[in-house]
Amino acid sequence: MKKKFYFSAFLLFCSFALQAQNAHYATGEVFIDRGGFIYISTGDMLNLEGAMVTVRNTNAAQRGMLSFAGTAQWESGSSAFVNGFVRTNSTGTFTFPIGQTSYRPARISKSASAAPTDAVYYTPALYSTSALGSGIGAVTNESWVIQGTTPAVITLSWTSNITSFADNLSKLCIAGWDGAKWVKIESAADVVSPIFESASTLTGSGSVSTTAAIVPNSYAAYTLAVEAPPPLTYSISATPLLEFGTLAKPYTPPAAQTVTVTNTGTGAITLVQPTSTNYIVGALSTTILSATGDVATFTVQPKAGLPAGVYNETISITGNNGASATVAVTFTVTFNCPSDDVVDMDGNNYSIKSLAGMCWIGNMKTTNWLQPNKNTNSLQFDLRGAGFYNSTTKRFEQLLGYTAYWTTNSVSAVTSLGASLTYYCSQLEIIEIKKTDAVSVRCVME
């Protein structure tokens, strides 16, 4: 039959061991002075029924100690705990029954018979609660000092409502004091607390455990912490546009297309109205994208009356903190020469083709020869005595007295067919013209 030992004394400089697989009961107030200890032998059980206080000292030899050997364990209610140092050399899990103004146990997954682990709880915290390392948003005003050299999973607890500190269990973690600041230790709230053997809740009790074993001596102290929110990101995306295609002058602008801008970051974006040189950009539907997924739209449409050419543009959409996106736009304007160019000669309309082989001496001496735009065709093409550039003499010649028009018929690498009309000539002539000579043209692309 197991023996029961009761002690309810004010112990000074006590140093004794309780053994023989007994159940021990600590009632009333028990004080363990400097250098003293109470040793609970392996296999024994200590029932804490009152307050137990030990001298706190950073020097292990100068502190009071309640020591549990091997498989020794304890039992208590939340109102009975050790206000001071507790030691274990258990090779299995051990929960330290510690606290100060309230019960705040800590747990380790293992220690070693030859290398015991000590733990004590302090409130307020031993170190500055404002010296926070990366990833830490805040720490509680308390400290657990856990000293040992055997790697172990460390578990810290809370025993009352902590919703004013954390709004979600997923944000809780353990922080360690590295000598200058509290640093984040990879850890997570326990779904079921190994200390209380019940679900962790912010409104009641629970615990947080490191995700891997660490050497307790790695940090001077430990505390509960909440993770800092991740830094805000600022980014946007924009939907692509279809090509606006190709239109010949004169043209009606294609229908406008809509661009959707989306906030793909986590921070609020203030957009700047985009602009363009050759496209009409509609006003943004909103300039504020407050949250992830918020959108704004604007329209894009080619401008009317653009000269012939290819209009490839990149429209930039920008916002605060470097947020940006681009939209590629493409539109082509062509200039098609009509096959029925008509010129006005003395009030009569003639196709250029009909002039070939005919005498127009009288007509060519009229004032129409010197006046542009006397025509009826849509491109306002007309015959003028523009002269030509002589590539041999390297000069312009016969201004107002001669005009010539390229055809599409190439004779050789050097020459091509052209139609020429001279002020004193009786007819339009088809001649070979050197490709290096600059002559008048039938149709001009702007």
Rounded Cα distance, 184 and 428, in Å: 93
Q: Half-sphere exposure of 366 toward its Cβ, with a 13 Å CA cutoff? A: 13
pLDDT in tens, 428-444: 667 787 877 766 654 44
**Based on the number of CB atoms within 10 Å of its own CB, is 4 exposed (0-12), middle (13-18) or buried (19 or more)?**
exposed
Predicted pLDDT at 49: 84
Q: To the nearest whole number, what is the mean pLDDT of the chain?
A: 83
Q: What is the set of domains in the chain, with CATH numbers? A: 4-227 (no CATH), 236-334 (2.60.40.10), 342-434 (no CATH)
In the predicted structure, residue 343 carries a pLDDT above the cut 80:
no
User: Is 124 in contact with 139 (CB distance < 8 Å)?
Assistant: no
pLDDT digits (tens, 9 = 90+) for 246-275: 998 889 999 999 999 999 999 999 999 999
**Pairwise CA distance, residues 133 & 176, whole Å:** 10
What proportions of the chain, in percent to the nearest 5, are helix, strand and coil?
5, 45, 50
> Does position 150 have pLDDT exceeding 70, yes or no?
yes
Residue 305's nearest CA partner among 341, 278, 274 is 278
The region of weakest confidence among 122-131, 156-165, 242-251 is: 242-251
**Rounded to the nearest 5 degrees, what angle is found at the Cα of 181, between the Cα atoms of 178 and 183?**
70
What pLDDT does residue 427 have?
58
As a whole number of angstroms, the distance between CA 363 and CA 100 comes to 119
Query: What percentage of the chain exceeds 70 in pLDDT?
Result: 77
